[in-house]
Structure 1
Amino acid sequence: MVRHAVVHQSLERELQARHGIGVSEFEALEALACSENTQCRAQDLTDVVHLSQSAASRLIARMEREGFLERALCEADRRGILVVLTDEGRERHLEAQPTHRSVLARTLRETG
């Protein structure tokens, strides 16, 4: 638990300072960047970022306002909402990914 807390705090601090995003935003960007067609159902994204449904909805709304993603109707299920990575979101992910990996490597080495 201590290792998790140290890693999470380090990631939060570095991602916020260098890229203006937090861990949850990075995890959402990563999930979308790695998904088929850079999109997924909003519910699937909620599961990835480990937030409650209401907190994930607020995260998605905030990221949409920042231009990192867009919402669209799911063609297969009209009740479903798709979350789609934008070019700006892809760019922010690519900029933040080396920071994320570097902080993980450093903090896991230090706490191991």
Structure 2
Amino acid sequence: MAETRWLDEREMRAWSGFLAASALVNRRLDQQLKDDSGLSHPQYEILVRLSAAPDGELRMTELANGLINSKSGLTYQVTQLEKAGLVRRRSCPSDVRGVFAVLTDAGRARLERAAPGHVAMVREALIDVLTPAQLEALADGLGEVSRRLREHGG
């Protein structure tokens, strides 16, 4: 068995900073979205992905792969969005198991109302706090972490 490589002080500072910042930023974004538009952060992300897709629709499996969410979590969020009239589901004509999530006009309108406040909070909580060099390092570093984790199955 390989010997454990404990985190040194610099590594622990990076890890602790990442945990605290990600939790605090996510909490702030979730609260802002709930207050301003009645959406959770995962629901907002679903609407964003659907709005960027051709014809405002994606297969549920494709939507799940693009989001950092379990399949059951995605199903729950889409159900909530469907109840609110923001998304509808439709069957795939060529695959009986395939289901599409489709952005409704009401969903697109809610997203358009929610986006300015959400972007302002992203800027306030993260983007504008960092120098350009810090932002570049963060984007590069976290981009690499995401790429490797996706490459190795999540």
Same fold (TM over 0.5): yes
1:34 alignment counterpart: 52
Q: How far is the alpha carbon of 1:76 from its aligned partner?
A: 3.4
The question of 1:103 aligning with 2:117 is answered no
1:45 alignment counterpart: 63
Instruction: Give, in whole Å, the separation in 2 of the partners of 1:103 and 1:47.
Output: 26
The question of 1:71 aligning with 2:89 is answered yes
Instruction: Give, in whole Å, the separation in 2 of the partners of 1:46 and 1:99.
Output: 25
Instruction: Give, in whole Å, the separation in 2 of the partners of 1:76 and 1:98.
Output: 38
Q: How far is the alpha carbon of 1:77 from its aligned partner?
A: 2.3
Unmatched 5+ stretches in structure 1 = none
Unmatched 5+ stretches in structure 2 = 1-17, 131-154
RMSD of equivalent CA atoms: 1.2
Q: How far is the alpha carbon of 1:73 from its aligned partner?
A: 0.8
Using CA pairs under 8 Å that are at least 6 residues apart, name the structure with larger relative contact order, 1 or 2: 1
Counterpart of 2:76, as a letter, is R
The one of 18, 23, 26 aligned to 1:5: 23
* Residue range with higher mean Cα deviation, 45-54 or 30-39: 45-54
Instruction: Give, in whole Å, the separation in 2 of the partners of 1:94 and 1:83.
Output: 18
Q: How far is the alpha carbon of 1:50 from its aligned partner?
A: 1.5
Counterpart of 2:29, as a letter, is L
**Helix, strand or coil at the partner of 1:80:** strand
**Bigger Rg, which one:** 2
Instruction: Give, in whole Å, the separation in 2 of the partners of 1:69 and 1:101.
Output: 22
1:62 alignment counterpart: 80
8 Å CA contact 1:73–1:80 kept in 2: the answer is yes
TM-score (norm 1): 0.92
TM-score (norm 2): 0.68
Same amino acid, percent of matched pairs: 27
Instruction: Give, in whole Å, the separation in 2 of the partners of 1:43 and 1:60.
Output: 12
**Helix, strand or coil at the partner of 2:97:** coil
Moved over 4 A (4+): none
> Which digits, 9 at most, give the CA deviation of each residue in 1:14-58, with x for residues without a partner?
000011011001000000000111000011222233111111111
Instruction: Give, in whole Å, the separation in 2 of the partners of 1:63 and 1:49.
Output: 16
